[in-house]
C-alpha cells in the first residue's frame, strides 16, 4: 500500500524534478495528481515511464489525498495550501510563505529531521530556500564537532532558481547577443544576465541587504542553531542549473582542515571532491541531476583563530528544492504516515 500524492506546479522546473525524483527513488505512490494553472490543463508530464495529464489546481479536491508537494510560488500557495491541509492532505511547500512561521517545521532531513513532528500544527511542512538547504547540509556535521560562531557566505546562484522565465532569459539573451536585431532586454532579471553577474536576488530590505540574503540568515538559525551568526551576499550568475557558495566558517573550537575533510566525507548527503590540482574540485555543471551537496577547496582560514573556508555546490532544483521535498515526504512516511 502506498500514498496518494499530489504535485502542484508540475509544469515548472521544481515540479518536474519532483515527479522525476519520486519515480527515481521509487517513492510508494498509489496514485499521482499533477497540478498546474488552468492554462496548462491537459499538458502531458513524465512520471517515470508513464505520462500524466495536468489538472487545474484551482478546482482540485484534495479530499482523500495523503501528501501534496507544492511548487507554485507564494501567491498560489497562500490560496491552495490551506485548502489541501484542511482536507487532511499534508503539504510540503517550496515557497517562502510558511518558512518563518514558528508553527511550521522547516526541514532539511540530514539536519533537523526530528522537528518534522510539528507538522501536525498546521498540516504544513516548509522546504528551505535553495541556497540555505545545501549550506546547512555542509555546516551541520562541522557544527556538531566544533560549534559554529559565524558564517560569511557569498553565493553564485544559477538562473533556474528564478523559475522557467529565468532559464529562458539567459538562453534567449545569450543567443540574441550574436544575432543583430534579436537582442533581448532584461525582464526577469534587473540587468543583462548573459555574460554578466548580478549582485541582487529578491527585493531590497531597509538595511541594504536583500530578501534572499535575509532568508539564508533566518533559515540557518531556524534549521541549525539560532545562535549562529550568518552574513550573506547573494549573486545571480549565468549558469543554468547548480548553485555555488564560497563559505567562511568561524568556530568556537579549533578544527583542523584534515579533520574537517574527514568529517564531511562521512556526512549524509555530502560528497567531498578536494584535490589540490587542476580540476580537483567541483563546478556547477558537474552537479546537475545529482543528489549530493559537493564540497571542495577545504582549507584553514589563517586570518582567524578557528576558521575554515570551503566551496559548496549542489543542484538547486534537486537538493535545493525537489529532492529535499521528496526526502521530507519519505521522512513523513517512515515516522508518521505509515502505510501497509
Ligand atoms: N527553482 C529553484 O531553485 C527553487 C528552489 C527552492 C524553491 N523554489 C520555489 O519553488 C516554487 C516553484 O519554482 P519553479 O522554479 O518551479 O517555478 P516555475 O518553473 O516558474 O514554475 C511555476 C509552477 O507553478 C505553477 N503555478 C504558478 N501560479 C499558479 C497558479 N496560480 N495556479 C496553479 N499553478 C500555478 C505553474 O503552472 P503553469 O505552468 O500552468 O503556469 C508552474 O507549474 C517557487 O515558490 C520557488 O520559489 C524554487
40 is in an annotated binding site: yes
Q: Is the pLDDT of residue 24 over 70?
A: yes
- Are 238 and 214 in contact by the 8 Å Cβ rule? The answer is no
- 208-251 per-position pLDDT tens digit: 999 999 999 999 999 999 999 999 999 999 999 999 999 999 99
Mutate to test the pocket of ligand 1, among 124, 163, 187, 327 (most ligand atoms within 8 A of CB): 163
Is residue 234 part of the annotated active site? The answer reads no
**Residue 107 vs residues 15, 216, 275, 320: alpha-carbon distances, Å:** 18, 14, 32, 12
* Residue 340 clears pLDDT 80, i.e. is over it: no
Decide whether any atom of ligand 1 lies within 6 Å of the 11 Cβ: yes
What mean pLDDT is predicted for residues 95-109? Answer: 97
Closest CA to 150 of 245, 219, 220, 251: 251
Interacting residues of 118 by C-beta distance below 8 A, sequence separation 6+: 103, 104, 105
How many Cα atoms are found within 13 Å in the side-chain-facing hemisphere of 259? 13
* Residue 288 exposed, middle or buried by CB count within 10 Å (0-12, 13-18, 19+): middle
Residue with CA closest to ligand 1 atom 44: 73
Cell (9 digits) for 237: 550568475
Helix (H) or strand (E) holding 243: strand 243-251
Residue 75 Cα: closest atom of ligand 1: 31
Percent of the residues in the chain that have a pLDDT greater than 70, as a whole number: 100
Instruction: Given the residues 89, 143, 243, 287, select the one marked as catalytic.
Output: 243
Q: Ligand 1 within 6 A of 320 CB?
A: yes
Report residue 67's pLDDT band, with 50, 70 and 90 as the boundaries: very high
Mean pLDDT of the chain: 97
Ligand 1 nearest atom to the CA of residue 133, by list position: 6
Which one-letter DSSP state was computed for residue 320? I
Cell of 31: 496514485
Active site residue 130: yes
Give nearest CA residue, ligand 1 atom 4.
Answer: 161
| pLDDT tens per residue across span 126-170 | 999 999 999 999 999 999 999 999 999 999 999 999 999 999 999
Residue 290 has a pLDDT of 96
Amino acid at each position: 500500500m502506498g500514498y496518494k500524492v499530489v504535485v502542484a506546479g508540475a509544469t515548472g522546473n521544481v515540479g518536474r524534478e519532483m515527479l522525476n525524483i519520486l519515480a527515481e527513488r521509487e517513492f510508494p505512490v498509489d496514485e499521482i495528481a499533477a497540478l498546474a494553472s488552468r492554462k496548462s490543463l491537459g499538458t502531458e508530464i513524465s512520471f517515470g515511464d508513464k505520462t500524466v495529464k495536468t489538472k487545474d489546481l484551482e478546482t482540485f479536491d484534495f479530499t482523500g489525498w495523503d501528501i501534496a508537494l507544492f511548487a507554485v510560488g507564494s501567491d498560489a500557495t497562500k490560496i491552495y495550501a490551506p485548502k489541501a491541509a484542511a482536507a487532511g492532505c499534508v503539504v510540503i511547500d517550496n515557497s517562502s510563505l510558511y518558512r518563518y512561521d514558528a508553527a511550521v517545521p522547516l526541514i532539511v532531513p540530514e539536519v533537523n529531521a526530528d522537528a518534522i513532528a510539528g507538522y501536525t500544527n498546521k498540516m504544513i511542512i516548509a522546504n528551505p530556500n535553495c541556497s540555505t538547504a545545501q549550506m546547512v547540509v555542509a555546516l551541520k556535521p562541522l557544527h556538531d564537532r566544533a560549534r559554529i560562531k559565524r558564517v560569511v557566505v557569498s553565493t553564485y546562484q544559477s538562473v533556474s532558481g528564478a523559475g522557467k522565465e529565468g532559464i529562458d532569459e539567459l538562453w534567449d539573451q545569450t543567443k540574441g547577443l550574436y544575432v543583430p536585431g534579436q537582442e533581448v532586454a532584461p525582464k526577469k532579471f534587473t540587468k543583462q544576465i548573459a555574460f554578466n553577474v548580478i549582485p541582487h536576488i529578491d527585493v531590497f530590505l531597509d538595511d541594504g541587504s536583500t530578501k534572499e540574503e535575509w532568508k539564508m540568515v533566518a533559515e540557518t538559525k531556524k534549521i541549525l542553531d539560532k545562535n549562529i551568526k550568518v552574513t550573506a551576499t547573494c549573486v545571480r550568475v549565468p549558469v543554468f542549473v547548480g548553485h555555488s557558495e564560497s563559505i567562511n566558517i568561524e568556530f568556537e573550537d579549533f578544527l583542523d582542515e584534515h579533520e574537517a575533510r574527514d568529517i564531511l566525507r562521512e556526512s549524509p548527503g555530502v560528497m567531498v571532491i578536494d584535490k589540490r590540482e587542476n580540476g580537483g574540485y567541483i563546478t556547477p555543471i558537474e552537479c546537475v541531476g545529482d543528489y549530493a551537496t559537493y564540497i571542495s577547496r577545504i582549507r584553514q582560514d589563517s586570518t582567524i583563530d578557528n576558521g575554515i573556508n570551503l566551496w559548496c555546490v549542489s543542484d538547486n532544483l534537486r537538493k535545493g528544492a525537489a529532492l529535499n521535498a521528496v526526502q521530507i515526504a519519505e521522512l513523513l512516511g517512515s515516522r508518521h504516515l505509515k502505510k501497509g
